[in-house]
Structure 1
Amino acid sequence: MFYRKNVGSKECVARVLGGLLIVACSLTQIGTTPLGLVLAASGVVTALTGLLGYCPACALSGRRPVEPRS
């Protein structure tokens, strides 16, 4: 792969669930208006960062996941 994972496993699960909730809520509550579609697209991006385990914004800021202490 060309990237290093920078999102922890618990955060991945939270991002996927949060992204799916954003998509569902935006399309059911706002509908297919331009605002609803923009919010749904942001939910898809959030879910994808969870599925891939890589967030470009976190990479730009230099953030790394917390490593468990051994």
Structure 2
Amino acid sequence: MIYVKNVPNWERVVRVVMGAIAIAFAVVNWGVSNVAVGAGVMGAVLALSGLVGFCPMCAMLGRQLDKRA
């Protein structure tokens, strides 16, 4: 199945940066905090959706890119 990108370029960059920050937090605090596991998973999902350009939750809500822009 081919997915149509539904995340604009500026948001893709933000998602990748925030995902990298969350993954870095998880790596630093892995044995110290239980929140690190959640941050790692959340960061991986954010970074992946930013790299691919498709967000399943946005698609379920009907979000589409503006074709004119």
Q: Shorter-chain-normalised TM-score: which range? A: 0.7 to 0.9
Which residue of the partner structure matches residue 5 of structure 1?
5
Q: What root-mean-square deviation, in Å, do the aligned CA atoms of Structure 1 and Structure 2 show?
A: 1.6
Counterpart-to-counterpart distance in 2, 1:41 and 1:18: 12
Counterpart-to-counterpart distance in 2, 1:2 and 1:40: 27
Give the match's secondary structure for 1:2: coil
Between the two proteins, the alignment pairs up a number of residues equal to 67
Amino acid aligned to 1:37: V
Q: Which has the higher helix share?
A: 1
User: Shift of residue 31 of structure 1?
Assistant: 2.1
User: Shift of residue 34 of structure 1?
Assistant: 4.1
User: What is the aligned-residue identity percentage?
Assistant: 36
Structure 2: runs of 5 or more not aligned:
none
Structure 1: 4+ residue segments shifted above 6 A? none
